[in-house]
Structure 1
Amino acid sequence: MTTNSPVVDRPRPQAKPLLSHQAGRVELITIRAFLIIPFLALVAVVPAAWGWGIGWAEIGVGAAFYVVSGLGVTIGYHRYFTHGAFKANRALRIALAVAGGLAAQGSVITWVADHRRHHAFSDREGDPHSPWLFGTSAAALAKGFWHAHMGWLFGSDRTNVARFAPDLADDPDIRAVDRMFPLLVTLSVGLPAVLVGLITWSWWGLLTGFLWSGLARVAFLHHVTWSVNSVCHMVGDRPFTSRDRSANFWPLAILSFGESWHNLHHADPTSARHGVKRGQIDISARVIWAFEKLGWARDARWSSPERLERLAAKA
């Protein structure tokens, strides 16, 4: 004989909150300094370039650091750590985290938590940097553009890592790199100065290397990356179906290493390639392909023609 046990109505566990805490005054001042100082350097040195201050040494060193730090964000922070678009061996995993830190856009765990939250609530309440949170009037869109581009970075809200990036918080290698972020930012602006100073064998080269190859390069990469948050959610074409307003903006494709093919990314976030149509240059995808050939990466997720056909927006 069997007896029926009483049904116990157990409460469902509550989801962890979106935010963990509010940033303190010292943290906010530090972050705002990292945002404003490189931008002021960019504004200051561009007019000065007409008469002096930039040569092949500054351009070459700045370009090298732009590529390394930019790919650290696009391949490392974004496609690998945030979305798991491929698997990497330990050395490549650590190298990508370090390279991303050189972009001075935030520590790896914080960056990933923010971006996963963005995808969870893309262009809806809860998205940390949607341009569509304030309405569709001209004034609302202007406010939204500023918020999406960089205004959100000045806020005090902090995404809950325990909810959005517990895998990285539990990884001792990544925690170590995350703690190194202030050092990586210092190296990102200091090493170019030293290199240009040595190449030109002058104190003047040390200064111009710091301004051009260091601060101005950081600021330029900042605005390219932030344009994916702002411009690529406002204008461009949308050949694939996504639940938000992500769009492709081809003028940024080279500078963003393929990130501005943003519509496919939001339609298929774990794809290792964002530029999937003919003529859509995606430098990050080619580098991931090279990593696979070298044996440093494996199991990259490439969107198949059949999947792309299913994702194609219906006319």
Structure 2
Amino acid sequence: MSAPARTRPMAPPRPADPHAGLPANAIGRRKSVLEIVTLYVFVVVPFLALAAVVPAVWGWGLSWLDVGLAVGFYFATLLGVTVGYHRYFTHGSFKAKRPLRLALAVAGSMAIQGPVVQWVADHRRHHAFSDREGDPHSPWRYGTGAGALLKGMFHAHLGWLFERRKTNAERYAPDLLKDPALVMTGRLFVVWAAVSVFLPALIGGVVTGTWAGAWSAFFWAGLVRIALLHHVTWSINSVCHVVGDRPFVSPGRDRATNFWPLAILSAGESWHNLHHADPTCARHGVLRGQIDISARVIWAFEKLGWAWNVKWPDPVRLAAKRRVPATTGS
């Protein structure tokens, strides 16, 4: 009797050992109980707040102050991740003066997606093993069937956060570990998370002079804003490796895509195909009509003299990475 057909190599099923294919020193220590509890609190509570949006609006609505605070904190913390954690700390798309470097680390921490060093280690590992064994959050890890892909997208979107073993930061982010200020920023992560959640409430309370104003700002600009930010950025891991177009060739089994509906909410991160084709490029939206807010912010930093050696798109390199459209013979 012949052996059963194997899953296509582009999207292998999950191995018995979830860390198969990794170097021996790629995985670090297990997460502590406190880290697991904190993770559940900062993931589940904002999500419940997001689920409560409709009845909340039906009950008492929201004010323009709530909207302003939510939008302001959303983009400040989002850019801390996209410009800071991602394009600067992970990929070195530009160099930054010390005050900007630390400000980006704090702003990224306030997005409540983990301390900067661990975030960078996870993301560098993602690029090293994109969409194959060893990738911490590939939606293709279980296979290509509908059920396997659905399970994989949940893992890529959210489930991977609850893995008990950490990526080894000594292997994937040794440069950041040499910076005592960044290490201290990571140790104060819970403080920055608390500031992110409660500062909008403080501002709302002071401006309105009421507890109702403080509660409203806490709900909208604190919990709901964090939940929306989480799910938009997590969608880059899940949706942007399954749905969308791929105008550029990315290496190996990588299946990163461009997904335009998230371009504004993700500040340009959803132009994910170009990013995986050219990871150090400071601009991800390089084609006509591709809005990239993060790139514009980096441009402003450069003009102000706060950033330099920005790795802007190179036309020759981009042309070499463009996917050649398939043609039919005559």
Q: TM-score range by the shorter chain?
A: over 0.9
3-state SS of the aligned residue for 2:28?
strand
Q: Post-superposition shift, 1:15?
A: 5.6
- Structure-1 separation of matches of 2:276 and 2:25: 24
- Choose from 271, 288, 291 the match for 1:278: 288
What is the deviation of 1:201?
A: 1.4
Q: Helix, strand or coil: the match of 2:59? A: coil
Residues of 1 paired with 2:26 and 2:161: CA distance?
16
Answering whether residue 21 of structure 2 is matched by residue 25 of structure 1, we say: no
SS at 2:138 equivalent: coil
SS at match of 1:20: strand
For 2:214 and 2:49, the matched residues in 1 are separated by: 15
In the alignment, structure 1 residue 238 sits paired with structure 2 residue 261: no
- Structure 1 residues without counterparts, runs of 5 or longer: 1-13
Q: Within the alignment, does 1:90 sit opposite 2:98 as a pair?
A: yes
CA positional deviation for 1:150: 0.5
State the Cα RMSD in Å.
Answer: 1.2
Matches of 2:153 and 2:46, distance apart in 1 = 20
Matched, 1:303 2:320: no
Q: Tell me by how many angstroms 1:163 deviates.
A: 0.3
Deviation sequence 1:31-84 (CA, Å, 0-9, x none): 111110111111113331123141111110111111110000000000000000
Counterpart of 2:110 in structure 1 is 102
- 2:215 aligns to what? 207
Task: Tell me the distance in 2 between the aligned counterparts of 1:304 and 1:24.
Answer: 44
Compute the displacement of 1:304 (Å).
1.3
| Contact preservation (8 Å) 1:57, 1:200 | no
Give the distance between the partners of 1:87 and 1:38, measured in 2 at CA.
34
Q: 1:18-57 maps to which residues of 2 (within 5 A)?
A: 18-57=26-65
State the identity %: 61
Q: C-alpha separation between the residues in 2 aligned to 1:190 and 1:65?
A: 11
Alpha-carbon deviation of 1:259? 0.2
Amino acid at match of 2:185: V
| CA spacing shift, 1:148–1:15, aligned 2, 3 Å | closer
Aligned to 2:273: 263
The residue type equivalent to 1:45 in the other structure is V
Distance in 1, matches of 2:35 and 2:302, equals 39
Superposition deviation, residue 18 in structure 1: 1.3
Partner of 2:10: none
Given candidates 263, 269, 279, the residue that maps to 1:253 is: 263
Deviations along 1:228-273, whole A, 9 cap, x unmatched?
0000000100000002100000000000000000000000000000
For structure 2, list consecutive stretches of 5 or more residues without a partner in the other structure: 1-21, 326-330
Q: Verify the 8 A CA contact 1:16 1:163 in the aligned structure 2.
A: no
CA offset digits 1:117-152 (Å, max 9, x no partner) = 000000010000000000011110110010000011
Count of aligned positions: 302
Mapped to 2, the partners of 1:174 and 1:195 lie a distance apart of 27
Amino acid at match of 1:290: A
Kept in 2: contact 1:53–1:208 (CA 8 A): no
Q: Matches of 2:105 and 2:310 in 1, distance apart?
A: 18
1:279-313 CA-partner distances (Å, limit 9, x unpaired): 00000001101100000000100111111100101
2:230 is matched with which residue? 222
SS of 2:82's partner is: helix
Q: Please say if 1:167 is aligned against 2:143.
A: no
